[in-house]
């Protein structure tokens, strides 16, 4: 009679292990994406200082040029240096996405904090969050920018309003778990005040998820920001925001496809780095969020 064979290697592969968290040489996996993110931030800060080639000055004699020593990435339809505009655009896009992500997280954390303390507030904010989450954030932002009027500031406001419910929902879960934990119970028994429990025990434990969430969601904030700017509902020309630049160059795609390609590649690369850094930070510092 044939014996059922058990292949140990296959079995092992079938079982989830935590060994995947570290690279083969023991280098922590969050190191590389974090370095990439830091490099990106450095380019954003230093880049426009080093390559400052008149991002706004029109030069009709140098319209739509190909790459040259003077203009390594060529020039746009107004003769402006494309590389200089891409570098400056990084500031607008990155700073905008960071602002939206931070503001959305703060509001979400605040709402979640209030909701976990008062039952009535909890059900009211719960309703609001359910409704806002039923509508894609891009649609919420689209309606808000249309009503508020197109400008970069209004776009940031709109994207923040569209994003906080996601954070509020996650923070609510985190806070409820923290308040139910043994150490909070211990502190309460020991006679600690509500404020001291919040500041000394709960908030430090929420900090990890916060850093992770801010990073993870900056990527989607950046995509929405670029999309609405592309439509003309955000940053306005001549601002070198990447989405706006794609919209400007769209007309010339047949003769200068590079002008459309380059800002898009910048967005894709930046969002990839942010997403990978977010994933890596989550795996490293807050594995509990992994199965969110």
Residues that bind other proteins (CB under 8 A): 2, 4-6, 10-11, 13-16, 20, 127-128, 130-132, 134-136, 138-140, 142-147, 149, 219, 223, 226-227, 230-233, 243, 246, 250, 253-254, 257, 260-261, 263-264, 267-269, 271-272, 275-276, 291
Task: State the sign of the Cα–Cα–Cα–Cα dihedral 152, 154, 156, 159.
Answer: negative
| Min dist. Cβ of residue 177 to other proteins (A) | 21
Query: For residues 19 and 60, which CB has a smaller minimum distance to other proteins in the complex?
Result: 19
- CA–CA distance, 153 with 242 (Å, rounded to integer): 16
Residue 191 burial (CB count, 10 A): 7
Residue 176 burial (CB count, 10 A): 14
| Min dist. Cβ of residue 182 to other proteins (A) | 29
Give me the residues paired with residue 75 across strands.
81
> Any residues with CB less than 8 A from the CB of 48 and at least 6 apart, and which?
55, 84, 87, 88, 91
- CA–CA distance, 104 with 270 (Å, rounded to integer): 20
Query: For residues 187 and 231, which CB has a smaller minimum distance to other proteins in the complex?
Result: 231
Query: For residues 61 and 134, which CB has a smaller minimum distance to other proteins in the complex?
Result: 134
Query: For residues 46 and 131, which CB has a smaller minimum distance to other proteins in the complex?
Result: 131
Nearest to 222 by CA among 96, 85, 37, 44: 96
Q: 3-state secondary structure string, 240-267? A: CCHHHHHHHHHHHCCCCHHHHHHHHHHH
Query: For residues 158 and 214, which CB has a smaller minimum distance to other proteins in the complex?
Result: 158
Query: For residues 31 and 131, which CB has a smaller minimum distance to other proteins in the complex?
Result: 131
Query: For residues 109 and 276, which CB has a smaller minimum distance to other proteins in the complex?
Result: 276
| Min dist. Cβ of residue 54 to other proteins (A) | 26
> Any residues with CB less than 8 A from the CB of 288 and at least 6 apart, and which?
none
| Min dist. Cβ of residue 11 to other proteins (A) | 7
| Min dist. Cβ of residue 21 to other proteins (A) | 13
User: Phi and psi dihedrals of 155, rounded to 5?
Assistant: -65, -40
| Min dist. Cβ of residue 230 to other proteins (A) | 5
| Min dist. Cβ of residue 167 to other proteins (A) | 18
């Amino acid at each position: 009679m044939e014996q059922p064979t058990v292949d140990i290697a296959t079995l092992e592969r079938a079982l989830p292990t935590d060994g995947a968290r570290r690279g083969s040489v023991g280098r922590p996996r969050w190191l590389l994406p974090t370095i990439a993110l830091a490099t990106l931030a450095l380019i954003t800060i230093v880049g426009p200082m080093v390559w400052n080639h008149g991002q706004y000055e029109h030069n009709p004699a140098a319209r739509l040029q190909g790459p040259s020593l003077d203009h390594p990435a060529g020039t746009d339809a107004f003769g402006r240096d494309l590389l200089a505009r891409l570098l400056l655009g990084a500031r607008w896009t990155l700073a905008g996405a960071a602002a939206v992500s931070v503001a959305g997280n703060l509001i979400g954390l605040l709402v979640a904090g209030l909701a976990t303390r008062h039952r009535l507030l909890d059900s009211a904010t719960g309703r609001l969050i359910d409704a806002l989450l039923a509508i894609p954030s891009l649609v919420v932002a689209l309606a808000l920018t249309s009503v508020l009027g197109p400008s970069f500031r209004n776009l940031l406001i709109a994207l923040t309003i569209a994003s906080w419910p996601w954070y509020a929902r996650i923070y609510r879960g985190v806070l409820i778990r923290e308040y139910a934990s043994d150490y909070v119970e211990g502190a309460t028994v020991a006679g600690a005040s509500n404020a001291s429990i919040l500041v000394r025990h709960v908030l430090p434990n929420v900090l990890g998820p916060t850093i992770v969430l801010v990073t993870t969601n900056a990527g989607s904030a950046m995509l929405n920001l670029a999309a609405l700017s592309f439509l003309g509902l955000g940053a306005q020309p001549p601002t070198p925001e990447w989405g706006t630049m794609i919209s400007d160059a769209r007309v010339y795609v047949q003769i200068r496809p590079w002008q459309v390609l380059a800002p898009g590649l910048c967005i894709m690369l930046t969002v990839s780095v942010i997403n990978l850094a977010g994933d890596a930070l989550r795996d490293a510092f807050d594995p509990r969020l992994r199965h969110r």
